[in-house]
Every structure is written in structure tokens, then in C-alpha cells.
């Protein structure tokens, strides 16, 4: 199938539907490309084509992605019979005994599961490097990160293995990998996508799940297929007026967009990111939108402190759960150094601090939406990352904690706000740096648009317009196995 990578997921499904190709042929093509990509990028934690073949034997139905090969991220999402290690030595050898609710909905959409992409331990950093699996490399420059924590997914999609892959986002982990590899990625509103069956939220509501993709319409159709309340949900995101896929081809109208340069922690975009921001602002103006430089005043230091407390408490609890499964305590040598320090912090944070964290995140959600209301803004615009993808090693969980923390804080500095507020935000691949000796095609830096809770429809409308005005599908990295 020489033309396999010329199609997005919906395009591949149409080939199956029209009997131009079989689902088995698509699977074979995807597995062949996955093996080639793994050799160069180390983006898969497991490949299990036999499970996929068994799924094909039972039929894939007539869903929108019927017969399309698919992979999940090695973090929290369960595929029955497949490994699930959460990128951690402590979970090595674990096999999922059930499907997640999300997996069940993906199966109903016709997706065929054949593998799992790499994640750092518990998704705790913005690069995809782990003691268990090593370094995942960026197809645009093998010396650089593909982002984190969904860097395996982004590397695989960017390299042409498959058109769309599952990802998750607790502080930028869909948007940052999409930015680093030139893909589209949207973090949905809190309560939009199921997290069960064992839970209905992650990291006290900061984490959510969706995907990275080459086309906007794949992301929209996939969200159509999986969103909606699950059993036990205490809240659900506002229902869309129409399918998200329909929104992609609808014009967004004239929007008023706040160009928000300075992140809550004070980080400013470097020259490359700023050039992308200015070019994007001009493109928006050319499309008839109004762009005004403005941003909410938020206490980034306090937000970072309470995000750290919240995540650390959840990591400590996760290790307790694993200890119960093992029948013994997880040893420190089964954790990466920074993970171990976070788990230790999580056991010492006073309970009142978690209440303060929740209160702060509530108030900042009010502040962000009030900023939009007061300024008459529909959306905000910021760079996803404030510089091009970092060299591998600078943000891993085995580095010096202070240096690693500083590197992360200045990388995707605008991203965590949308996890803390629960609002949706998307990374759109609109900028590449100039070519270098290491990266002949330049390095991607995504542009992030954020809106109030439930604004996915508006984001998809704008994304569709931008995709038409500044197509990115033809941009292919040096490592391309498609």
C-alpha cells in the first residue's frame, strides 16, 4: 500500500467501506510501518498484532473508523490482554484484564488496536524518556524530544505509522507533543471524555484524554465517537449543538482573539516561538479576525505549587495501589528519582493544602473566563511551547530536579492553566523554525488556542479554517515510514 499515509483515518475507513482495501491489509501496513519507526524512533512500548487479528475475526462493525489501525498510550487506558506499564518499572509485566470505557467506545467506532505508545513514568514530564523504555526520538530531529507525555503517540503519527493515536493531557501532554512534531491536538473540556471504569477523573480533574492527529477532521470524528457521560460521572461537559465533525467545515465567523504572550509564570516566547505567534496573528487578521494583545493576570508561581501538590498526592496514591497489587511495597529502585521525590512529597502535603489547591483552581477558572467576558474575547492565542523542542535528556525524570524543573517551567508554560481550569485548548501546527544542519526541515512549534469550558465546537471551526488556509498535511519529517 504505497498510498497508505496519504489518507487520514476517515479516508482509510472509506477505503475499507468501499472494499478498495481490507482491514487486514491496513493492519499489515500499519504493523510494518510501526516496526520500521520503532527501530528509528523508539516510540512503541508494545506491539500486539495478534490481538488486532483476533479483533478482526470478530468484526469491526460499521463505525466511522471501521477497520482503521489504532494504538493507545501506555498510561491508564486499558486494552484487555495488552500490557499496561504506565512507563514505570514498578508496573513491568502488568497486563490489562479489561477494556477501559474509552477503549470500548473506540471499538464501537471500528478502531483496531495493534500497539501501545511510550510514555514517561506516570506521564510526569514533557519529554518521553523512561528507565523502562529509554528515549523516544523526534522524527524531525533524532536528537530532540517528541514531547511528553504523549511523545510516543506523536512520533508515530508524525512519522506516518498511522493517522491518529490516543493521547492524554494532565499539564499539556497532548498539546506539547503535537507542537513538537507538527500535528494537531486538542485537550477537551473536563468531563468530556470517559476515564473509567475505575475512575471518572484523573489528577483531581486536571487530566483528560483524547488524541493527536494529522488532520483536524480525524480529531473531531474521534471525539464524536467517544465523548459523553460514563457511569458514575459527577459532572459532564456541556453537550455540543451538532457533531464536531460538522463543525470542521463551518466557518467560525469573525472572532476576537487575545494574543497572550506572557505565561502565568512570567515566561515569554523566544525568538522562534514569537515569530510563529506573529505569523499566526497576521494569518488570523488576513482571515478577518481581530487579534488584540492581552492576557489575564494570574499567579503562576502559586498555580505551579498547587499543581505539584495535587499531582504528587496522586502519584503517592498510585504507588500505594501498585503496592497492594504486588503484595509488597514498591521499592525506590522501581521508581525514577524525580518520581520518587514527588511520591514522598505527596505523603507529606497537609490535607488543607489540597483543599487550597482545589479552591485556587476554581478561582482561576473564574478569572480566565471573566477575562474573556470583560474583553469581549472568544479565544486566547499563545505558543504551545516557548521554544523549539529541547534536546533529549534535559527534562527526563532522572535529571537533577532543579534543572529539570526549570526546563519544564519555561517550555510549555501556558499549557497547565487549561488543565487547572478544565477549559479546552488546541495545538495547531502553524509554524516551523528555519532549517538547521540537524533539522533540515526546521522544527515545529504549535500555536495554542484556548476557550471557555465547552468551546470545542468553536475551536474545531477555527481549526478547520486554519487547516484550509495554511495546510500542514504535506509537511513530512526526515524520518518518514509512511
Mode of pairing for the β-strands spanning 129-130 and 256-259: unpaired
pLDDT digits (tens, 9 = 90+) for 317-349: 999 999 999 999 999 999 999 999 999 999 999
Average pLDDT of span 54-81: 98
Which residues lie closer than 8 Å to 359 by C-beta, 6 or more apart?
A: none
Contact (Cβ atoms closer than 8 angstroms) between residue 189 and residue 453 = yes
Residue 233: name the closest of 182, 189, 195 by CA: 195
Whether the pLDDT of residue 2 is over 70: the answer is: no
- How high is the pLDDT of residue 437? 72
- How high is the pLDDT of residue 401? 87
With vertex at residue 346, the alpha carbon angle to CA 340 and CA 349, rounded to the nearest 5 degrees, is: 140
Specify whether 207 is catalytic: no
Task: Indicate the average pLDDT of the chain.
Answer: 97
- How high is the pLDDT of residue 438? 75
Name the percent of the chain lying above pLDDT 90: 97
Whether the pLDDT of residue 168 is over 70: the answer is: yes
pLDDT digits (tens, 9 = 90+) for 435-462: 877 777 899 999 999 999 999 999 999 9
Whether the pLDDT of residue 196 is over 60: the answer is: yes
Average pLDDT of span 26-37: 98
SS (H, E, C) the chain: CCCHHHCCHHHHHHHHHCCCCCHHHHHHHHHHHHHHHHHHHCCEEEECHHHHHHHHHHCCCCCCCCCCEEEEECCCCCCCCCECCCCCHHHCCCECCCCCHHHHHHHHCCCEEEEEECCCHHHCCCCCEECCCEECEECCEEEEECCCCCHHHHHHHHCCCCCEEEEEECCCCCHHHHHHHCCEEEECCCCCCCCCCCCCCEHHHCEEEEEEECCHHHHHHHHHHHCCCCCCCCCCCCCCCCCHHHHHCCCCCCCEEEECCCCCCCCCCCHHHHHHHHHHHHHHHHCCCEEEECCCCCCHHHHHHHHHHHHHHHHHHHHHHHHHHHCCCCCHHHCCHHHHHHHHHHCCCCHHHHHHHHHHHHHHHHHHHHHHHHHCCCEEEEECCCCCCCECCCCCCCCCHHHHHHHHHCCCCCCHHHHHHCCCEEEECCCECCCCCCCCCCCECCEEEECCCCCHHHHHHHHHHHHHHCCCCCCCCCCCCC
Average pLDDT of span 208-222: 98
Q: Which one is catalytic: 45, 149, 215, 312?
A: 149
- What is the pTM assigned to this prediction? 0.98
Q: How far is CA 156 from the centre of its chain?
A: 13
How far is CA 478 from each of CA 43, 183, 315, rounded to the nearest angstrom? 16, 15, 37
pLDDT digits (tens, 9 = 90+) for 287-313: 999 999 999 999 999 999 999 999 999
* 203 or 482: which leads in pLDDT: 203
CB atoms under 10 Å from CB of 70, counted, come to 26
Q: Which one is catalytic: 45, 73, 154, 215?
A: 73
Q: Which one is catalytic: 150, 168, 173, 207?
A: 173
Specify whether 119 is catalytic: no
- How high is the pLDDT of residue 425? 99
Average pLDDT of span 83-96: 98
Average pLDDT of span 353-371: 98
Specify whether 189 is catalytic: no
Amino acid at each position: 500500500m504505497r498510498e497508505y499515509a496519504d489518507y487520514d483515518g476517515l479516508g482509510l475507513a472509506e477505503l475499507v467501506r468501499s472494499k478498495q482495501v481490507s482491514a487486514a491489509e491496513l493492519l499489515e501496513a500499519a504493523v510494518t510501518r510501526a516496526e520500521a519507526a520503532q527501530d528509528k524512533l523508539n516510540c512503541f512500548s508494545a506491539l500486539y498484532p495478534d490481538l488486532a487479528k483476533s479483533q478482526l475475526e470478530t468484526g469491526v462493525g460499521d463505525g466511522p473508523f471501521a477497520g482503521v489501525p489504532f494504538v493507545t498510550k501506555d498510561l491508564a487506558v486499558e486494552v484487555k490482554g495488552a500490557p499496561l506499564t504506565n512507563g514505570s518499572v514498578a508496573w513491568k509485566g502488568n497486563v490489562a484484564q479489561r477494556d477501559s470505557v474509552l477503549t470500548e467506545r473506540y471499538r464501537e467506532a471500528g478502531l483496531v488496536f495493534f500497539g501501545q505508545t511510550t510514555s514517561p513514568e506516570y506521564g510526569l514530564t514533557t519529554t518521553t524518556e523512561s528507565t523502562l523504555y529509554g528515549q523516544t526520538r523526534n522524527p524531525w530531529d533524532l536528537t530532540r524530544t517528541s514531547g511528553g507525555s504523549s511523545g510516543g503517540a506523536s512520533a508515530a503519527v508524525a512519522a506516518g505509522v498511522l493517522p491518529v493515536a490516543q493521547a492524554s493531557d494532565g499539564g499539556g501532554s497532548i498539546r506539547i507533543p503535537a507542537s513538537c512534531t507538527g500535528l494537531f491536538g486538542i485537550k477537551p473540556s473536563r468531563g468530556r471524555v470517559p476515564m473509567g471504569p475505575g475512575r471518572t477523573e484523573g489528577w483531581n480533574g486536571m487530566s483528560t484524554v483524547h488524541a493527536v492527529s494529522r488532520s483536524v477532521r480525524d480529531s473531531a470524528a474521534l471525539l464524536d465517537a467517544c465523548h459523553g457521560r460514563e457511569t458514575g460521572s459527577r459532572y459532564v461537559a456541556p453537550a455540543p449543538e451538532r457533531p464536531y465533525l460538522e463543525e470542521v467545515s463551518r466557518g467560525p465567523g469573525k472572532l476576537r482573539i487575545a494574543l497572550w504572550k506572557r505565561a502565568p509564570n512570567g515566561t515569554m516566547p523566544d525568538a522562534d516561538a514569537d515569530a510563529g505567534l506573529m505569523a499566526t496573528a497576521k494569518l488570523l487578521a488576513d482571515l478577518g479576525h481581530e487579534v488584540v494583545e492581552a492576557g489575564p493576570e494570574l499567579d503562576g508561581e502559586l498555580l505551579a505549587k498547587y499543581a505539584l501538590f495535587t499531582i504528587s498526592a496522586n502519584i503517592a496514591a498510585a504507588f500505594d495501589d501498585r503496592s497492594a497489587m504486588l503484595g509488597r511495597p514498591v521499592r525506590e529502585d522501581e521508581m525514577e528519582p524525580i518520581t520518587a521525590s514527588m511520591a514522598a512529597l505527596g505523603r507529606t502535603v497537609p490535607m488543607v493544602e489540597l483543599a487550597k489547591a482545589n479552591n485556587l483552581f476554581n478561582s482561576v477558572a473564574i478569572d480566565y473566563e471573566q477575562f474573556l467576558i470583560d474583553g469581549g474575547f472568544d479565544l486566547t492565542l499563545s505558543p504551545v511551547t516557548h521554544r523549539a523542542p529541547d534536546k533529549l535528556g534535559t527534562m527526563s525524570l532522572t535529571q537533577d530536579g532543579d534543572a529539570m524543573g526549570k526546563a519544564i517551567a519555561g517550555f510549555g508554560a501556558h499549557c497547565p492553566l487549561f488543565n487547572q481550569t478544565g477549559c479546552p485548548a488546541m495545538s495547531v501546527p502553524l509554524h516551523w523554525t528555519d532549517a538547521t544542519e540537524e533539522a533540515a526541515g526546521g522544527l515545529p512549534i504549535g500555536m495554542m488556542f484556548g476557550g471557555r469550558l465547552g468551546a470545542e465546537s468553536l475551536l474545531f471551526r477555527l481549526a478547520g479554517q486554519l487547516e484550509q488556509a495554511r495546510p500542514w498535511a504535506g509537511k513530512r519529517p526526515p524520518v518518514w515510514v509512511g
